[in-house]
Amino acid sequence: MLYINNLTKKYGSFTAVDHLSLHIPEGDLFGFVGPNGAGKTTTIRIVCGLLKASGGSVRIGSINAPMGSREMKRLIGYVPDFFGVYDNLKVHEYMDFYGSMYGMRSRDIAKLTDDLLELVNLSDKKEFYVDTLSRGMKQRLCVARALLHNPKLLILDEPSSGLDPRARVEMKELLKNLHSMGKTIVISSHILSELSEMCTSIGIMNHGQLVMAGRIEDIMQQVAGGRRIRIQAASGIETAVRLLMEQAGVVVESVMENEIIITNNGTDEQTSALIGQLIQNQVVLTGFYREAGSLESLFMQLTGGGVQ
Amino acid sequence: MKIRWNPIVKKDLQVTARSMRLSWGLFAYEAVLVMAFLLALAVIQAENDSYYSSGNIYSSLIYLFPVLAVAQVCIVALITPIITASSISGEKERQTFDIMLTTCMSPMAIVFGKVVSAVIRILFFVAAGMPIMALSFVVGGLEWSSLIYFVLTIILLSVLSGSIGIFCSAFCRRSISAVVLSFAFYFVLYILTFVPTILKLLWSDGDTVGEAPLFLLVNPGVFFEEFFMQLMTGESAFGAETGSNFSPGSVGYVTYQLAHGKVWMFLSAACILVLAFWFMIAAAWKVDPMNTASAASKAGKKRKGHGGQGQETT
Helices B87-94 and B175-190 pack at an angle, to 10 degrees, of 170
Of B103, B105, B296, the CB nearest to A51: B296
* Nearest chain B alpha carbon to A188: B311
Sign of CA dihedral A12, A17, A18, A23: negative
Residue B310 has pLDDT above 60, yes or no: no
What distance in Å separates residue B285's CA from the closest CA in chain A? 13
Question: In the CATH scheme, what is the code of domain A224-292?
Answer: 3.30.70
Contact A230/A236 with Cβ under 8 angstroms?
no
| Interface predicted TM-score (ipTM) | 0.77
> What residues contact A293, with CB distance under 8 A and at least 6 apart?
A220, A221, A223, A224, A225, A226, A228
Burial class (CB in 10 A: 0-12, 13-18, 19+), B311: buried
B309–A11 CB contact, under 8 Å? no
Strands A228-235 and A209-215: unpaired
Look at residue B243 and give its three-state secondary structure.
helix
Q: What is the pTM of this model?
A: 0.78
| Residue A50 to residue B289, Cβ atoms within 8 A | yes
Nearest to A266 by CA among A285, A290, A287: A290
- pLDDT, residue B52, reads 57
Strand arrangement of the beta sheet that strand A55-60 belongs to: A14-24, A2-11, A55-60
Pairs of CB atoms within 8 A across A/B: 128
Chain A residue with the nearest C-alpha to that of B18: A88
Confidence at B261, pLDDT banded by 50, 70, 90:
low
Over 50: is that where the pLDDT of B46 sits? yes
Domain boundaries, chain A: 2-221, 224-292
Q: With cut-offs at 50, 70 and 90, classify the pLDDT of residue B281.
A: very high
**Within an 8 Å CB–CB cutoff, is residue A75 touching chain B?**
no
Q: Is B173's pLDDT higher than 90?
A: no
A111 Cβ contact partners less than 8 Å away, ≥ 6 residues apart: none
Pairwise CA distance, residues B304 & A26, whole Å: 32
Which residues of chain A from 131 to 170 reach within 8 Å of chain B, CB to CB? 142, 145, 149, 157-158, 161-162
Class of domain A2-221: alpha beta
Rounded Cα distance between A34 and A16, Å, is 13
Q: Which residues of A touch B306 (CB under 8 A)?
A: 82
Question: How far is CA B276 from each of CA A80, A138, A227, B174, B182, rounded to the nearest angstrom?
Answer: 33, 37, 69, 22, 13
Nearest residue of chain B to residue A43 (CA atoms): B314
Indicate if the pLDDT at residue B84 is higher than 60. yes
The amino acid present at B293, given as its one-letter code, is A
- Low-confidence stretches of chain A (pLDDT < 50) are 306-308
Burial class, A47, CB count within 10 angstroms (exposed 0-12 / middle 13-18 / buried 19+): buried
At residue A35, what are phi and psi to the nearest 5 degrees? -70, 170
Q: Which amino acid makes up residue B92? A: K
**What does the pLDDT look like over B85-119, one tens digit per residue?**
888 888 888 888 889 999 989 899 999 999 999 88
Closest A-chain CA to B16: A88
Task: Write out chain A residues lying below 8 Å of B3, CB-based.
Answer: none
Cα B98 from Cα B300, distance rounded (Å): 9
